Structure 1
C-alpha cells in the first residue's frame, strides 16, 4: 500500500477510535485541534530550520484532513457534504504545496485561521467551547503547543 494510502487509513482509524470513546462531533473537534497544533509546530520548525520535523507535521496534518474527508456521509450531507469534501481536498493540497515556499509559516497561519473557524463551528455543534471562549476562560491566553511551553520554560531558566 502506498504511503499516502497508509496515512489516510491511519487518520481514518484515529477518527474511528476517537469516535468510539467520544461523540463523533467531539472527535472532529479534537482532530481539528490536532491539525491546528501540527501546522503551528510545522511553522515553528520551518522558522528554526528543522525542515524534517516540519515535513512530518505537515504530512500528519494532511493525513488527518484526508481522514476527515473520507468519513463524510454524502447520502445525508448532500451539497454541504460536497462543499466540505472540496474544502478538505483544497486544504490538503495547499498545506502540502506551501511547504517549500519562502512564506510557508504565513501560509500555514492563514490556513489555520480558516480551519479554526470550522473547528469552532464543530465545537458549537458538539457543545464545546470555541477557541475564543477557551482563551477567555484562561484570562485571554491561548493554549500553546507543548513544544512552545517547554521552549519558553527553558528560556526562563537561563
Structure 2
C-alpha cells in the first residue's frame, strides 16, 4: 500500500476511535501546526501556503466553536468570544499578509491548547465522559 494512503488510513482510524477529549486535543494540536506553518510562510513571503494554513485554522476554530455547549458549561460564552476574536485575527492576517497577527493568534491559542491537554490528562468524572467536556 502507498505510504501516504496508509498514513491517511491510520489517521482516519485514530480519529474515529478517539474519545471526545482526545478529538478536542487533536484539533488544538492541528490548529497550532497550521498557525505556525502560516506564520513561517508569511515570514518567507509564501502567501499561498500561508493562506491555505490560515483558512484551515479558521475551519478548525469553527469546529471548536460548534462544539461549545452553553447549557453545560458556563465558560462557553467567553470561549466563544475568544474563538470569534481569533477568527477575525486570522482573516486579517490573511488579507493583510501580516505575520504579527498570526503570532497574536498563536499567543492566544497555545495556552488554551495546553489547558485542554492538561484537562484531558486529568482523571475523568461522570460529567466529562459523556461528551460535555468538549470546548
TM-score tier, shorter chain, comes to 0.7 to 0.9
Q: 1:89 matched to which residue of 2?
A: 84
The structure whose RCO (Cα within 8 Å, separation 6+) is larger is 2
Helix, strand or coil at the partner of 1:74: coil
Partners of 2:48 and 2:15 lie apart in 1 by 31
Contact 1:18 1:27 in 2 (8 A): no
Contact 2:22 2:120 in 1 (8 A): yes
What TM-score do the two structures reach when normalised by structure 2?
0.73
Contact 2:93 2:101 in 1 (8 A): yes
Match among 102, 106, 117 for residue 111 of structure 2: 117
Match among 10, 32, 39 for residue 43 of structure 1: 39
Q: Deviations over 1:117-139 (max 9, x none)?
A: 001110111008xxxxxxxxxxx
Structural RMSD (CA): 1.9
What TM-score do the two structures reach when normalised by structure 1?
0.63
Partners of 1:119 and 1:89 lie apart in 2 by 16
Count of residue pairs brought into register by the alignment: 110
Is there any run of 5+ residues in structure 1 with no aligned partner, and where?
1-16, 129-158
